[in-house]
Amino acid sequence: MVVELPPSRWDLPDPTAVDGDLVAVGADLEPATVLDAYRTGLFPMRLSRGGPIGWWSPDPRGVIPLDGLRVSRSLRRSCRRYAVTVDTAFVDVIRACADPRRPEGWIDESFVTAYSTLHRLGWAHSVETWHDGALVGGVYGLAIGGLFAGESMFHRATDASKVALVGLVDRLRRGGGSLLDVQWTTPHLVSLGAIDVPREHYLHELAAAIVRRQLRLDT
């Protein structure tokens, strides 16, 4: 169950009125602010470690079509090797994603707190992969209507984060998801089926997704 929140006290900008990926700087990470940002097509990321919060809307935007996930033969074998769960270790997943030893890590304690609060309110979710009872991979993000906005993933064993992504997409298909946002594409995500779409196209798909019935990942 999700807890509905009042609108943010901030007047968030229209991403189409700005050239470039960075749309605004400032505001806060209160739950209402973060939810309104995603509904507008924005997401938060600090400009630098310890720096101000930037609000981003990439053009082009990275998405993974739910019918376009690429699952290789070796990945299918890995899917049989790991157990997959949903929302059983959210804080452990986000803290693993926030590990400061990771290259280009950007998730600090303020983001851990903000998204953990959103998880308690029913908006943020994690998909975990396990091997012999140990957490070895996962992905977390935010769900609004039919949107799942993927934030970060991690692995401690071969293919463990990929298996979490396969589990996420499978549950989005069954649970009413329509749009999987991955922010920016990377070679790793492209190998799994991620594509770039123009920001205008993404915002059109977003508007349709967020008015859908709230998706469920526990189906």
Question: 19-37, pLDDT tens digit by residue?
Answer: 999 999 999 999 999 999 9
pLDDT of residue 101: 80
pLDDT of residue 184: 97
The tokens 């006290």 sit on which residue?
9
Residue 45 and residue 49: Cα distance in Å, rounded?
A: 10
Domains, the chain, ranges and CATH?
Answer: 15-56 (no CATH), 61-210 (3.40.630.70)
pLDDT of residue 106: 80
pLDDT of residue 96: 96
136, 154 Cβ separation under 8 angstroms: no
The tokens 């993974």 sit on which residue?
64
pLDDT digits (tens, 9 = 90+) for 119-142: 999 999 999 999 999 999 999 999
Residue ranges for the chain with pLDDT beneath 70: 103-104
Q: Is the pTM of this model over 0.75?
A: yes
pLDDT of residue 104: 66
The Cα-based distances of 60 to 1, 19, 25, 140, 147 in angstroms read 33, 12, 20, 22, 17
Q: Which of 26-32's residues contact partners 24+ apart within 8 Å by CB, and which partners?
A: 26/52, 26/53, 27/53, 27/55, 28/53, 29/53, 29/110, 29/111, 29/113, 29/114, 30/114, 31/5, 31/114, 31/117, 31/118, 31/121, 31/123, 32/5, 32/6, 32/7, 32/8
